């Protein structure tokens, strides 16, 4: 296909544009999930060692930067919450993006006294 700029194992979406044979773009997917139990402040999540995402409340989240289809993702806790101090844990935080990911769970249990 003339004009195809997708090489290797990257997944591409191709479509016919008027006046040209085929136009291709690289498919991307978002990474996200749900935070529960958050009572403190300062929780920051990270995807693939970058794309920092501050979290201020329980509920759903989505990282700002989508990743290329077929790429690995790894959601980690960059900063734990304080005031009150909590130790949050991410589960389902690693995988390969073959669609938009919404299954990452970040659980922040109450601090033990």
Other C-beta atoms lying within 10 Å of the C-beta of residue 3: 11
Structure tokens of 31?
């990474």
Please indicate, yes or no, if residue 55 is contained in any of the structural domains: yes
Please indicate, yes or no, if residue 46 is contained in any of the structural domains: yes
Give per-residue pLDDT as tens, 58-67. 999 999 999 9
Distance, in Å, from the CA atom of 106 to the CA atom of 59, rounded to the nearest integer, reads 10
Task: State mean pLDDT over 11-21.
Answer: 60
Please indicate, yes or no, if residue 32 is contained in any of the structural domains: yes
Beta bridge partners of 90: 106
Classify 54 as helix, strand or coil. Answer: strand
Please indicate, yes or no, if residue 1 is contained in any of the structural domains: no
Other C-beta atoms lying within 10 Å of the C-beta of residue 2: 7
Number of domains the chain is built from: 1
Give the structural domain span for 81: 28-107
Please indicate, yes or no, if residue 87 is contained in any of the structural domains: yes
Please indicate, yes or no, if residue 15 is contained in any of the structural domains: no
Please indicate, yes or no, if residue 90 is contained in any of the structural domains: yes
pTM above 0.85, yes or no: no
Distance, in Å, from the CA atom of 82 to the CA atom of 71, rounded to the nearest integer, reads 33
């Amino acid at each position: 296909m003339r004009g195809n700029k997708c090489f290797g194992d990257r997944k591409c979406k191709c479509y016919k544009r008027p006046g040209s044979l085929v136009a291709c773009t690289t498919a991307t997917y978002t990474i996200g999930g749900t935070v529960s139990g958050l009572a403190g402040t300062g929780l920051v999540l990270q995807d693939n060692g970058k794309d920092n995402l501050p979290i201020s409340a329980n509920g759903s989240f989505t990282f700002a930067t989508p990743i290329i289809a077929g790429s690995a993702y790894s959601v980690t806790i960059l900063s734990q919450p304080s005031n009150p101090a909590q130790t949050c844990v991410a589960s389902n935080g690693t995988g390969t993006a073959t669609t938009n990911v919404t299954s990452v769970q970040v659980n922040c249990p109450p601090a033990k006294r």
